[in-house]
Amino acid sequence: MSLDDAFFEGQAQVGSLTLRPFTIGSMTACRKLGLTLFTGEATDTTPDDVQRQVVAFAWLQSTPVAKVLACLRDNTAQAAIDAFEWALKPSDLPLLEAEINRISQSVGAAAVDVVQRDVTPDPQQPGN
C-alpha cells in the first residue's frame, strides 16, 4: 500500500475489534494518555507497559469518539480502559501489535518536521 492510499483507509478489522483510522485526534489522545509507543517518545518500556499501551490504543481506536472524548475530558479514560481490557481477547494482542506496527510505519512516513524560522522583519509579510 502506498502512503497516499493509507490516508484513504477506512476502518480496519483487527481480531474482534474494529479500529478507526489513526488521525491527528488519535495522536493528541495518545499524548494525553501517555502512550509513548505512539508519540515517538518511548524509551525503555517493560512488557507490561507495552501491553498497557496496546490495550489503551485499542480502546482509543475502537470506542465511539464521543465516549473517548467524554472520558478524556472528565479523566475517566483509565477506568474505561481497565473495563475494556476485560473484554479483550488474548488472541487480539498479536494482531493489534501487527496493526500498530503497520500504522506507525504510515505515520512515520507522513511525519513532517517543522523547522522554527527566525522572526520576519515585518510580521504582516510572513515568509520573507
pLDDT band of 106, cuts 50, 70, 90: low
Q: Contact 107/37 with Cβ under 8 angstroms?
A: no
In a domain, 53, yes or no: yes
Quote the domain boundaries for residue 27.
21-107
pLDDT at 18 over 80: yes
Residue 50: predicted pLDDT: 87
In a domain, 76, yes or no: yes
In a domain, 102, yes or no: yes
In a domain, 114, yes or no: no
Give the three-state DSSP class for 90: coil
Greater confidence (105 vs 9) lies with 105
In a domain, 7, yes or no: no
In a domain, 113, yes or no: no
What's the structural domain count of the chain?
1
DSSP letter for 13, please. E
CA dist 15 and 96 (Å) reads 8
Greater confidence (33 vs 110) lies with 33
pLDDT band of 125, cuts 50, 70, 90: low
Cα 18 to chain centroid, rounded: 14
Percent of the residues in the chain that have a pLDDT greater than 90, as a whole number: 34
In a domain, 16, yes or no: no
pLDDT at 111 over 90: no
Percent of the residues in the chain that have a pLDDT greater than 70, as a whole number: 73
In a domain, 6, yes or no: no
Where would I find the beta strands (DSSP E) of 12-89? Answer: 12-14, 17-19
